[in-house]
A and B are shown apart, each in its own frame.
Chain A
Amino acid sequence: GAVVSQHPSWVICKSGTSVKIECRSLDFQATTMFWYRQFPKQSLMLMATSNEGSKATYEQGVEKDKFLINHASLTLSTLTVTSAHPEDSSFYICSASGRVSYNEQFFGPGTRLTVL
């Protein structure tokens, strides 16, 4: 149980376009979802925390207008990278937390974004 999926697993886009990444909890209700960014050979950096039905809380230094997060249901959160640029290329990982285990996050497999 406690499976989280992400779609797509990888995406290549042109500079200036927007990209949407989906994060789904497949077998539990995710009251909270987290979005992380990971640069090559580096650790995960938390971008934002979202609670179902509420606005996301962004970490310091993360542009909320660039990284739009929506958590419209208990099983789906989306991250939209707007007007993507090459510096937005990264590995984006989501995680979900819910009633199955309040203090444990279950991680998705990640999405590799490459902006040309």
Chain B
Amino acid sequence: AQSVTQPDIHITVSEGASLELRCNYSYGATPYLFWYVQSPGQGLQLLLKYFSGDTLVQGIKGFEAEFKRSQSSFNLRKPSVHWSDAAEYFCAVAGTGTASKLTFGTGTRLQVTL
């Protein structure tokens, strides 16, 4: 069964500082990987996804993530955080079949201090 681990429940960074959110997955083959962001009381917005190809993926809002097969990781990064980035971030994994189920990590809450 597939699973996702986000080891950091809560992270606080200063505005302008760099950010890295960790994500480790477990899946028998090469998975499809996603990062979503959720603001309070809102649905999920897709930041970026990895299906195949280049292991460094660029997303919206200046985010990027790197797929490292050897470490089973898909960490999310941003070079300079803005106060509006404060939200909950979820990493998710899906199998490679059509319309496969998503398994979410427990989420990382990002707080940005001014």
B70: Cβ under 8 A from any A Cβ:
no
Given A103-B51, A103-B94, A103-B98, verify A93-B41 contact (CB < 8 Å): no
Asked if residues B49 and A112 are in contact (CB atoms below 8 Å), the reply is no
Set of chain A residues within 8 Å of B44, measured between Cβ atoms: 44, 93, 95, 107
Given A43-B107, A103-B51, verify A31-B43 contact (CB < 8 Å): no
- Number of A-B pairs whose CB atoms are under 8 Å? 54
Place the interface of chain B in its size category. Answer: 20 to 34
> Main SS of the interface on chain A?
strand
* Binary per-residue interface labels of chain B (6-46) against chain A in the complex, 1 for a CB within 8 Å, 0 otherwise: 00000000000000000000000000101010000111111
Asked if residues B104 and A44 are in contact (CB atoms below 8 Å), the reply is yes
User: What's the tally of chain A residues with a CB closer than 8 Å to chain B?
Assistant: 24
CB distance from A2 to the nearest CB of B (A): 10
Residue of B nearest to A106 (CB): B46
A contact residues vs B (CB 8 Å cutoff) = 6, 31-32, 34, 41-44, 46, 49, 91, 93, 95, 97, 102-110, 112
A-B contact pairs, 16 of them (CB 8 A): A34-B101, A42-B107, A43-B104, A43-B107, A44-B44, A46-B101, A46-B103, A95-B44, A97-B99, A102-B98, A102-B99, A103-B32, A104-B34, A104-B49, A108-B43, A109-B43
| Nearest 10 Cβ contacts at the A-B interface | A32-B99, A109-B43, A107-B44, A97-B99, A107-B43, A43-B104, A110-B43, A102-B98, A43-B106, A44-B104
B contact residues vs A (CB 8 Å cutoff) = 32, 34, 36, 41-46, 49, 51, 90, 94, 96, 98-107, 109
